[in-house]
Structure 1
C-alpha cells in the first residue's frame, strides 16, 4: 500500500505511462473530452478536488517541457492563472492559444484529468519532458 503521493490507481497508471513529448491535460469540471482520449475523472463534488491542488500534486512527479494555457485564462481568471503558473517549474516555457484551439489540441493528449473545479478557463496542457 502506498503511504504518500497519488493514491488514485488510474491516475497513477496514466502518469507512469507518459513519455517524452506526451501531453497530459488537467482540466476543470466542464472541459470536454475528445473521443479516444482517456478520461481520469477526479471530481466528486463542485470544487473538489480543486484544479490547483491537482496541478500541485502532479507537478511533484512529472517532468515537463512546456505548458499550454487558453489565452482567456489571462483575462477571465488572472489571479487564479497566476497561482497555476507559480506551481510550474520556474523556467517552464508557456504558450497561449484561444480556448477553441486549446480544445482541439486536447484531442492529441494521452489523457485528460478532470477536477471538480468550477472556475472558468482553469485548464492546462502539460507537454512531458525527459527525466534525464
Structure 2
C-alpha cells in the first residue's frame, strides 16, 4: 500500500497513469462505452462510477495547459432528448483541482470513438448515466 493514493485507484490504473506522458489521452467510459472495441489498453473499473474515478484521477493527473480544451465530452446525438446532468459534476470536480484549466470541448459521438482509438488507455466503468464518457489530455507536472 502507498499513502495519499485514493483507494479507488487500482495498481493497474496507477501504473497506467504513471506511464502516460504529456499529450497522452485517457478515456473514462461509461458502462455503455465500447471500451474493448476502441481501447488499446483497457482498465476495468466495473462497479465504480465516472465521477468518483474522475475525482480520484484528478488528484494525481495534471491537465495539458498547452491545449485550449484538455477535457472532452461526447456530445448528445442530435434529436436525442437526453440532458446529461452528470456533466455538471464533471465540471465541479475538474474545477476543484484545476480551475484555470476547466475548459471542455464537445465531440460528436463517432469522432469521440475515433479519438478513443488513439487514446493511451480506456478506463471502463459501471457508470449508468448516458453520455458520461470523458477524455482527459495529460499535461506536465510542474
Give yes or no for TM over 0.5.
yes
Structure 1 stretch displaced more, 3-12 or 109-118:
3-12
Residues 1:58 and 2:38 aligned together: no
- 5 Å-filtered alignment, 1:3-82, equals 3-6=3-6, 7-33=9-35, 34=37, 37-43=40-46, 48-65=47-64, 66-72=70-76, 76-82=82-88
Q: TM-score, normalised by structure 1?
A: 0.87
- The 1-side partners of 2:126 and 2:83 are apart by 17
Partner of 2:108 in structure 1? 98
Unaligned runs of 5+ in 1: none
Q: TM-score, normalised by structure 2?
A: 0.81
CA displacement 1:17-45 (0-9 Å, x = unmatched): 111000001111121134561000110xx
Unaligned runs of 5+ in 2: 65-69
Deviation, structure 1 residue 2: 2.1
Deviation, structure 1 residue 91: 2.3
- The 2-side partners of 1:70 and 1:121 are apart by 6
Note closer, same or farther for the CA distance 1:100–1:5 as it changes in structure 2 (3 Å cut).
same
CA RMSD between the two structures: 1.8
